[in-house]
């Protein structure tokens, strides 16, 4: 969300505008070299449609559908913060072993159209919708950190308009909802910088809102993700807090580390109320993304990418690696445990989503270059994709080398029903630094180190982005 949106969102009105003008020169200072203005972090200028795409290798013929990924792509030049650009979708359609098209399209919001701006409380549709994508209740949606989701036409990635569950969505919707693979129920939340700081929601498989439940938090924490098990949901309240001072003094993203804030997980029955939440204190840390969560006897288990701290100096401080860590909350004893599972830096954890809410064996992530310790380094980093066997402790890694960059690896099952947990593919975009072009790539999820089984070279660049989705044609029937 852009700085103007946070100032709007605060509802400061004319007083806020005057105050912000007086103190604008005192805001946090962005690094002289902004990594989101370099390399493949830079926004692209055009929306394109490409057909007749060449395929290197072989696309598995059983994959018929759309791979689409969201990300930040400022339409007015470099944004004030990496998270501040407009939403842009990048999609590749697969059918009968072919890649029939590639499209990139902005999410057409009032912010993108420059219709939202100034001060005062914004409408919930005034959002960039730049973080992820969801298919539920027969609709494809683009999701952001704040505001309403936007409906997207899967045939051409055009924007149909905002969506608010027939007026039952009270405001913000997370970019990380969870679909129960058995029932199709959607579980999600929205967080806010004003009370209620957290609201939990459920919708049935057809997209009808079932529950809207405010959850008590001690303050306005950043809550990017949450966990769902077969019987519970898990909220995170961590020391990255919204700062009114940072907002008033010009921060592009006014969230900072607060040593005085609690760090805890709240476990609530899926159909419970605020009064049912059990809170578990844990050592200070921050989590953007959860790999998976499940129940084991009296324990609720959450596996996530854990940072020791984040944004201690300011919101441009990204240079501390995350580690895959297991959090366990014993509902009988009240004890919470924290165990680092693997010691290599990682982010964007993924699993076979048929195993969401269930005990699982295999996980996947981006393998992060641990030398990313400065703005100058992050745009030239080396990385890759990593597979984790949580039963044996073994890993298998594809490393890009200095020539390429890789994005989130999304698991696509090879079979819709009855396949093994790891029987499938990882889909992603690969960027070539030499040609400054990208390729859609598929990997065998059981053998990442063997490299891509196929690539679809694109004569354009797909910038670094956030989260994607596989939408098979069978889901549209």
- Rounded to whole angstroms, the Cα distance separating 163 from 149 reads 6
Using only C-alpha atoms, the chain has a radius of gyration, in whole angstroms, of 21
pLDDT at residue 353, as a whole number:
98
pLDDT digits (tens, 9 = 90+) for 16-36: 222 222 223 334 566 666 777
Confidence of residue 79 (pLDDT cuts 50, 70, 90): confident
Confidence of residue 80 (pLDDT cuts 50, 70, 90): confident
Least confident segment among 12-21, 42-51, 225-234, 354-363:
12-21
Confidence of residue 84 (pLDDT cuts 50, 70, 90): confident
- Contact yes or no for 409/366 (Cβ under 8 A): yes
pLDDT at residue 76, as a whole number:
83
pLDDT at residue 255, as a whole number:
94
Least confident segment among 110-114, 197-201, 414-418:
414-418
Least confident segment among 46-60, 309-323, 442-456:
309-323
Token reading at 394? 């073994």
- Mean pLDDT on 182-197: 97
User: Of 12 and 100, which is predicted with more confidence?
Assistant: 100
- Mean pLDDT on 333-339: 98
Nearest to 387, CA basis, from 407, 365, 420, 412: 365
In the chain, the N- to C-terminal Cα span, in Å, equals 35
CA–chain centroid gap for 378, Å, is 19
Least confident segment among 239-243, 268-272, 416-420:
416-420
- Mean pLDDT on 375-380: 56
Could you tell me which residues come within 8 angstroms of residue 367 by beta carbon, excluding any fewer than 6 positions away? 344, 345, 346, 383, 384, 385, 386, 397, 398, 399
pLDDT digits (tens, 9 = 90+) for 399-413: 998 899 999 999 999
Look up tokens 């959860």; give the residue.
290
Give SS3 for 153. coil
- Contact yes or no for 352/411 (Cβ under 8 A): yes
Give SS3 for 23. helix
CATH architecture of 3-476: 6 Propeller (2.120)
Mean pLDDT of the chain: 90
- Rounded to whole angstroms, the Cα distance separating 439 from 454 reads 10
pLDDT digits (tens, 9 = 90+) for 195-232: 999 999 999 999 999 999 999 999 999 999 999 999 99
Token reading at 65? 């559908």
Look up tokens 């005034």; give the residue.
126
- Rounded to whole angstroms, the Cα distance separating 388 from 375 reads 29
- Rounded to whole angstroms, the Cα distance separating 363 from 355 reads 10
**Does the structure show a pLDDT above 80 at 380?**
no
Least confident segment among 61-70, 247-256, 404-413:
247-256
- Rounded to whole angstroms, the Cα distance separating 385 from 428 reads 10
Question: Does the global pTM surpass 0.85?
Answer: yes
pLDDT at residue 37, as a whole number:
81
pLDDT at residue 253, as a whole number:
86
Phi, psi of 475 (to 5 degrees): -75, -20
**Does the structure show a pLDDT above 80 at 181?**
yes
pLDDT at residue 15, as a whole number:
26
pLDDT at residue 26, as a whole number:
38
**Does the structure show a pLDDT above 50 at 118?**
no
CA-based max dimension of the chain? 62
Domain boundaries of the chain, sorted by first residue:
3-476
CA–chain centroid gap for 35, Å, is 19
Nearest to 427, CA basis, from 400, 403, 402, 456: 456
pLDDT at residue 398, as a whole number:
97
């Amino acid at each position: 969300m852009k700085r103007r949106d946070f100032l709007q969102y605060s509802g400061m009105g004319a007083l806020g505008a005057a105050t912000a003008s007086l103190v604008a020169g005192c805001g946090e200072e962005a690094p002289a070299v902004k990594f989101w203005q370099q390399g493949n972090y830079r926004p692209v200028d055009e929306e394109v449609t490409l057909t007749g795409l060449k395929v290197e290798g072989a696309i598995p013929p059983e994959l018929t559908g759309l791979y689409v990924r969201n990300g930040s792509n400022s339409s007015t030049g470099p944004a004030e913060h990496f998270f501040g650009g407009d939403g842009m979708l990048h999609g590749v359609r697969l059918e009968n072993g072919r890649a029939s098209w590639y499209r990139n399209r902005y999410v057409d919001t009032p912010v993108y159209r420059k219709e939202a701006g100034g001060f005062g409380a914004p409408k919930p549709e005034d959002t960039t919708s730049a973080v992820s994508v969801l298919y539920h209740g027969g609709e494809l949606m683009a999701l952001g950190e704040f505001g309403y989701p936007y409906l997207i036409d899967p045939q051409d990635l055009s924007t149909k308009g905002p969506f608010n569950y027939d007026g039952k969505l009270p405001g913000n919707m997370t970019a990380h909802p969870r679909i129960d693979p058995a029932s199709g129920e959607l579980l999600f939340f929205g967080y806010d910088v004003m009370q209620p700081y957290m609201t939990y929601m459920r919708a049935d498989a057809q997209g009808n809102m079932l529950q809207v439940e405010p959850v008590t938090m001690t303050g306005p924490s950043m809550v990017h993700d949450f966990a769902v098990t077969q019987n519970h949901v898990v909220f995170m309240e961590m020391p990255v807090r919204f700062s009114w001072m940072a907002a008033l003094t010009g921060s592009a993203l006014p969230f900072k580390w607060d040593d005085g804030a609690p760090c805890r997980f709240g476990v609530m029955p899926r159909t419970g109320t605020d009064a049912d939440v059990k809170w578990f204190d844990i050592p200070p840390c921050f989590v953007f993304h959860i790999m998976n969560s499940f129940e084991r006897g009296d324990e609720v288990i959450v596996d996530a990418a854990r940072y020791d701290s984040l944004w201690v100096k300011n919101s441009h401080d990204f240079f501390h690696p995350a580690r895959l860590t297991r959090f366990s909350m014993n509902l009988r004893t009240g004890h919470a445990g924290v165990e680092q599972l693997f010691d290599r830096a990682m982010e964007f954890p993924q699993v076979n989503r048929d195993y969401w809410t269930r005990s699982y064996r295999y996980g996947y992530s981006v393998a992060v270059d641990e030398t990313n310790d400065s703005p100058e380094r992050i745009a030239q980093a080396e990385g890759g994709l990593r597979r984790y066997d949580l039963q044996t402790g073994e890993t298998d890694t594809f490393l890009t080398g200095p020539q390429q960059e890789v994005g989130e690896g999304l698991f696509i099952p090879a079979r819709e029903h009855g396949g093994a947990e790891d029987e499938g593919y990882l889909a992603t975009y690969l960027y070539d630094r030499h040609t400054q072009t990208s390729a859609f790539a598929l990997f065998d999820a059981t053998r990442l180190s063997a490299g891509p089984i196929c690539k679809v070279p694109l004569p354009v660049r797909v910038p670094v982005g956030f989260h994607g989705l596989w939408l098979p044609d069978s889901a549209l029937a």
